[in-house]
Amino acid sequence: MLFTGSTELNIDAKGRLSIPSRYRAQLTGKAKEGDDNTPDSPSAWIALPWPDHSIRLYTETTFEELANAWTDSLTLSADQAELRRTIFASAERIEPDSAGRIRVPQKHLDLAAIGSAVVIIGAGSMLEIRDRETWLAEERKRFNDLPALIEKTRSSA
């Protein structure tokens, strides 16, 4: 599954955020918006606050696949154990309501410094929730820095 694009939204007073229908459609195999003959949205999302001031949203299936890809061991190093504790303790399973809205944990919003005006961006296998004002203010810089970032990631691979 490949999430792309971006959508500007608001988190309501009850902390709910509507997942755009185009992303829900990808998960349900919906042929087009407005098609009523489709299965329901995914059973849950996994939300994970990230130090880059975002909240990552994974489908439950994708999160489980990525988590299971880690090699389990009884002899984890202290750093490996700390990483696992931090990731899994921070991750929250969130079930959407019948309208496709999720309740974003306030703790996640606080950790990521995200207000109620947000942008949801497609980031490959996940979605990201970001503060709208910050995201839009940095858009030109990200675009201009793209060639250098591509080169940097090529040389580190």
Domains of the chain by start residue, with CATH = 6-132 (3.40.1550.20)
Q: Where are the beta strands (DSSP E) in the chain?
A: 6-10, 16-18, 45-50, 54-59, 92-94, 101-103, 117-122, 127-131
Q: What is the pLDDT of residue 22?
A: 86
Q: What is the pLDDT of residue 12?
A: 95
Give CA–CA dist 145/147, Å, rounded. 6
Q: What is the pLDDT of residue 68?
A: 87
Of 121, 122, 97, residue with least CA distance to 15: 97
Torsions phi, psi of 27, nearest 5? Answer: -75, -30
Q: C-alpha distances in angstroms, 116 versus 46, 59, 91?
A: 19, 22, 20
Q: What is the pLDDT of residue 9?
A: 97
Strand order in the sheet with 45-50: 6-10, 117-122, 127-131, 54-59, 45-50, 92-94
Checking DSSP bridges between strand 6-10 and strand 54-59, what pairing results, if any? Answer: unpaired
Of 3, 7, 103, 110, residue with least CA distance to 49: 110
Q: What is the pLDDT of residue 81?
A: 86
Averaged pLDDT in 10-residue chunks for the chain of 157 residues? 93 94 70 45 83 95 88 80 92 91 95 97 96 95 94 81
